Each structure stands twice: as C-alpha cells, then as structure tokens.
Amino acid sequence: MAFIHPMVILLAILSGVYTGFLGWKRFRFRRGRGTASEFPWQKHIQWGKRFYILLWIGSFIGFGALFYLKGEIFTSGLHAYLAVLILLLFSIGVALGGKLSKGKGTNRLALSHLIINYSTFFFVLIQVILGVVFLTFFL
Ligand code: HEM
Ligand code: HEM
C-alpha cells in the first residue's frame, strides 16, 4: 500500500523530466541554436499534461494512504508542506505553459515557464529524499 504513492510519483517525475528535456529544444531555438522543427510542440504539451495529472494523482494517493493508515493527514511534517509548495509551483508553471500553447508567448513568459518548472525540481529532489526516509523509518 505504502509503495503505490512513490511509484505513481516516480512515473510523474519521469514524465516531467522528459517534458523538460523536450522544452530544452525550444529554449535552444529561441536563443538562436537548433531549428524550430526540433521542438515537438504537441508532444511537449502532451507529456506536460501527463506529468501534471500524475503528480496530482500521486499526491492524492499519498494523502489517501496516510488517512487509511493513521486516520489523519498532514502528519508527515515537511513532506506534506513541501508537497503543497511543489503542487503550487508546478500549477503556476503549467498555467504559463497553457498560455504559451496559445502561441502568443513572449520570450519573457517562456523564460518564466522554464525557471519555475526547472527550479521546482530542486524541491522534488528534497521531497524524494524525505519520502525515502519516511518510508524507511516511520512507516
Ligand atoms: C501541461 C504542461 C505544459 C505546457 C502546456 C507547456 C507548453 C509549452 C509551450 C507551448 C512552449 C513553447 C513556448 C514558446 O516558445 O512560445 C513551452 C516551452 C518550454 N517548456 Fe513547457 N509546457 C508544459 C510543461 C513544462 C514542464 C513541466 C517543463 C519542465 C520540466 C517545461 C519546460 C519548458 C521549457 C524549458 C521551454 C522552453 C522555454 C524557452 O524557450 O525559454 N514545460 N512549453
Ligand atoms: C514530488 C514528489 C512528492 C510529492 C508531491 C509527495 C506528496 C505526498 C503527500 C501530499 C503525502 C501525504 C502527506 C501528509 O498528509 O502528511 C505524502 C505521503 C507520503 N509520501 Fe510522498 N510525495 C512525493 C514523493 C515521495 C517519494 C519519492 C516517496 C518515497 C520514496 C514518498 C513517500 C511517501 C510516504 C511513505 C508517505 C506516507 C503515505 C504513503 O505511504 O503513501 N513520497 N506524499
């Protein structure tokens, strides 16, 4: 039971990293390197959506599992607070992606999309470490 949440989150992270890898091709083109056709526009959006949906499903499974095991949620301390921060930041990053996908994005908007999404992976890294500690010592 306790492993379902980490597995869904792992799938989300893999999809997110792949989305970021595709996005990098656009970053290069926008700054004069590579060609526009190297960036698979629709594929980036598709994987971005997949990533975002899996992230939410994974998080709800985390809450659900704790509720099932302990009868309450938000008992994991930093892991729970960081989850809220991560969900908030990616929601902003993805919302900017939605704006960009209408084709009216400026360089600055694209850059904000990049910075928010890429830097949130730093918190994801901490979250993974906390998750492993949690799984090993507290459950
Ligand atoms: C549903 C979610 C997402 C949507 C709809 C989306 C949409 C887009 C679109 C349409 C562009 C091209 C913008 C343009 O050049 O006008 C773009 C660029 C980019 N995206 Fe996303 N994206 C999403 C998620 C993500 C995620 C999760 C990451 C990182 C992990 C990411 C990283 C990037 C990067 C690095 C660029 C290039 C930015 C630049 O040129 O400065 N995107 N995105
Ligand atoms: C982006 C990454 C992650 C997010 C957003 C996230 C989110 C959450 C949330 C919201 C909860 C419920 C917390 C509470 O109510 O106190 C939770 C619980 C938990 N998380 Fe995570 N988590 C992430 C990564 C991980 C990873 C990588 C692991 C393990 C390797 C992990 C292990 C756990 C464990 C063991 C619980 C207790 C409930 C359960 O077993 O499902 N988490 N997580």
Model confidence over 56-104: pLDDT tens digits?
999 999 999 999 988 999 988 999 999 999 999 999 999 999 999 998 8
The identity of residue 126, as a single letter, is I
Please give the model's pTM, rounded to 2 decimal places.
0.95
d(CA 134, CA 29): 42
- Reply yes or no on whether the pLDDT at 19 is more than 80: yes
State mean pLDDT over 120-133. Answer: 97
pLDDT at 104: 83
Nearest CA to ligand 1 atom 8: 97
d(CA 136, CA 81): 19
Q: What separation in Å is there between the alpha carbon of 21 and the centre of ligand 1?
A: 10
Are 135 and 2 within 8 A, CB to CB?
yes
Q: Which ligand is nearest to the CA of 52?
A: 1
d(CA 108, CA 92): 15
pLDDT at 22: 98
Q: What separation in Å is there between the alpha carbon of 73 and the centre of ligand 1?
A: 33
Q: Say how many C-beta atoms besides its own lie within 10 A of residue 98's C-beta.
A: 12
Q: Which positions ≥6 away from 139 have C-beta within 8 Å? A: 2, 69
- Reply yes or no on whether the pLDDT at 18 is more than 90: yes
